[in-house]
Structure 1
């Protein structure tokens, strides 16, 4: 899954909070016997100084953007986050213990690096974040691979350009480390081997190991939503997996591009995804609504989900009908019906009492 972090005296990257890790949510797709796609393996290391209620060191490993392993300085354990990851020890019983020891060493290294960086930037205290992102992508159709390596300190990046075999440093304080890394041929060869050989091989192994989870296809439930009669109608799909999906409105079978607002694909708490596309009906006559439909397509799945625009299908927040005096009609009718039924029951009991002289 990873290699030991090296002892760099500088490194930079973007500011990180707990929400970043919550956002590192599940994604996945097909491999053999399905649509071609790009798979990814990314490892994120975040070291922090004086951040309240946040571990000083966190490691998160993702495959296809699904968190599969986790380590932090509070637990000091390298642990699987997916059931299928437990099987990684099939031919390596010491895997979890060995990786725990490596990450504990990285934890001390990153803590020291923050202190070096604080001196370089003339900082004496306060909140500081140091992060490393390392990983690769693999196209299962072309077999093309790409590697990524990036550091950041308090929002400023230092990234590796594998094509030119140089580091890119936007900040003057990072130039010292850039030159040191650029001139270290042995380290550059090691980086290239990780990104072009080790990482892709590990990624292919993990994708195959977790195929039942990573490569599944879940279709969503689709609903039509509208806040008020004058609001756009939103076609909302939720519960689909993975996040490779398309959604659009059609009129008479032709895709619409005007009066349409496509929303972002967002994660659900259970690892599935949701998205919506709005249609402005302000210039459309009610009798023409049925000429419109919403189409959802999950990449790699032949079936499409079609939802025709019909008023009775729309779920809305609008208030229930009221009479001319502004009284909610159901609120009045329901108690009246209950009262009439009660009076009828009392009348029956009185009648029975007169006939039989008994209440029961």
Structure 2
């Protein structure tokens, strides 16, 4: 577990949107004698976006995205319970860190205990995968094998924990329920809400009358989208410069594609924006009246959707090592 600290391991964006992996993850970290760093930190993430943060200094769950904060209006009771759960796990992790020190015959110094738990869901194939990994001082300690539902001890010091957790039938049922039902169900809800909530804006931009025309989409989620130019219904590859997907400050994304000014009928050209999971494409005709420029007025085409009306961070299992 070399890279557990606040790292979201998400699938790469593919031009072909037929294989799209979404993730819901929680990272928990307890540390000792780390200067200017909280003793306990919890971070919740949907895909590669941090949505929530808790640490032993602030002692409150803080939402990190504007489109997530509105959930507190309808789910105030849930957030109170979530805050209490975070406080409970702060104490639990502090105790676990002491146990780790005893197992490794350590007394003082800098030490870190980490836990990553969550799931992934392919919204095209329906395949679901999960992970439940514990690490200590940058090394794997124990990992749950979701095929056999048994624990794998990565170090000798973890053998006792493996034997203890393998015999815990209640823990086994909690894990099965979480990874087969609860986590995937919530992840699907998040993704579906995301597809129908943020405002997506598609517009045509041009700096000067002789410069390329840029098709620009912003405010969309998730980070699985594609944009391209067409001529007479056929995708163009020449005279087109496709940009990368870039993040916005609110956790949404943007993308653009530049087109060299055509010498023939502009009516033959259009820009297509596709968002994973959304059946209808957004098609924008190349029309001079629709271009936003530095030398004239224009209109902007706006398409509106709804985002997370509900939020749930991964339910964690209160077990000592």
Q: TM-score, normalised to structure 1's length? A: 0.55
The answer to whether the aligner puts 1:195 opposite 2:173 as a matched pair is no
Map 1:1-360 onto structure 2 (within 5 A): 12=1, 14-16=3-5, 41-62=24-45, 69-78=52-61, 82-88=69-75, 95-117=78-100, 120=104, 125-126=109-110, 129-136=112-119, 146-153=129-136, 155-157=138-140, 158-168=142-152, 172=155, 176=159, 179-180=162-163, 183-186=166-169, 187-200=171-184, 203=186, 207=189, 215-216=196-197, 218-224=199-205, 235-257=215-237, 262-277=242-257, 287=263, 293-299=270-276, 300=278, 302-306=280-284, 308=286
Comparing both chains, which one has the higher relative contact order based on Cα–Cα distances under 8 Å and sequence gaps of 6 or more? 2
**Residues 220 and 242 of structure 1: is their aligned pair in 2 closer, same or farther, counting only changes over 3 Å?**
farther
- Name the residue aligned to 2:308: none
Deviates most, 299-308 or 254-263: 254-263
Deviation digits for residues 290-333 of structure 1 (CA, Å, limit 9, x no counterpart): 576542223415242336498x96979xxxxxxxxxxxxxxxxx
Question: Unpaired segments of 5 or more residues in structure 1?
Answer: 1-11, 25-36, 317-360
Deviation digits for residues 179-223 of structure 1 (CA, Å, limit 9, x no counterpart): 43674352333321332244456x28x949x98777325322334
Q: TM-score, normalised to structure 2's length? A: 0.60
- Name the residue aligned to 1:328: none
The total of aligned residue pairs comes to 274
Q: Which has the higher helix share?
A: 1
**Residues 242 and 225 of structure 1: is their aligned pair in 2 closer, same or farther, counting only changes over 3 Å?**
farther
**Residues 163 and 125 of structure 1: is their aligned pair in 2 closer, same or farther, counting only changes over 3 Å?**
same
**Residues 295 and 168 of structure 1: is their aligned pair in 2 closer, same or farther, counting only changes over 3 Å?**
farther
2:200 counterpart SS class: coil
